[in-house]
Copies of this chain bind each other. A is one copy, B any other.
């Protein structure tokens, strides 16, 4: 970009709405300076979105911004962290003020909701892409990790599963949503809510946690491998929405989508028998629905049951799966 173009872009980012007291020095110097509270640890995550890979080039920039920040918020939610500051690296082929305005609108709306301050970044010329590094804090030694699941723990998920993949299916069909059901599913694909408050509430009770960004099966396997345990998931108990049931007509197809749907930012977590009673209490204020979907066992592997019997459905990832639905 030319110097004037950069000045213009910088004006958009300097006028960001959140001003945290712990930001000693924000945008505008060689680096930003932050005060981290005592007895806290810093939690850091990074996600990149590339046009053509993670979103279509003509996607509404409001939605691109939401997705970029929400995916990072969801990572912090899985750790039980309080999101606090972020850096944004934005690469654009040319100065496009309409796009930039939409992007800032989506970005700031979500950043303001979670009180996340943009503290810096970089703006460069090149193929459209963006990288966000989001930082948060947890009280020392309370972050929820993937490797803490133990045999005997119960397996839970927040919210409903499958809506995001069903919504994407509608979008990729290239047709406008046929009814309000499809409209709702599309909206849920674009605006999945990261479980930020639930993640923080779970710090005191969950033995492990991960966000379902790549699909339940894929992400649960990360917990199982990191914790050296196995699991049985009861697919007939997976929480699915009324809209998903209407979309696919029968519960088994809904469960198949729920097992593989990615990008919906629900949390998958484990809780020991002794902590189980506390779940409702700690989640009360967050009004987060949770569902027990299975149990952790010793050994290796993952078995998926339907009404008590092991399934023989192919589950090779939700994109491929949906294509063959």
Contacts and interface: CB of A to CB of B under 8 A. Distances in A.
Interface of A: 24-25, 28-36, 38, 40-54, 75-76, 78-79, 81, 85, 87-89, 91, 119-122, 124-127, 129, 131, 133, 135-136, 138, 140-141, 143, 145-147, 209-211, 226
Residue among A33, A34, A79, A138 with the most chain B CB within 10 A? A33
B43 A31 contact: yes
Nearest to A267: B30
Q: Chain copies in the assembly?
A: 2
Given A120-B44, A120-B46, A143-B33, A226 B87 contact: no
B42 A42 contact: yes
Given A31-B79, A31-B81, A48-B124, 10 more contacts: A29-B79, A30-B78, A31-B45, A31-B76, A33-B79, A46-B121, A46-B133, A50-B127, A53-B125, A133-B133
Specify the main secondary structure of chain A where it touches its partner. strand
Contact of A120 (B45, B53, B76): B45
A168 to B, nearest CB: 18
Contacts of A85: 44
Contacts of A136: 31
B89 A119 contact: no
Nearest to A88: B46
Contacts of A209: 30
Contacts of A25: 143, 145
Given A41-B34, A50-B126, A131-B131, A145 B29 contact: yes
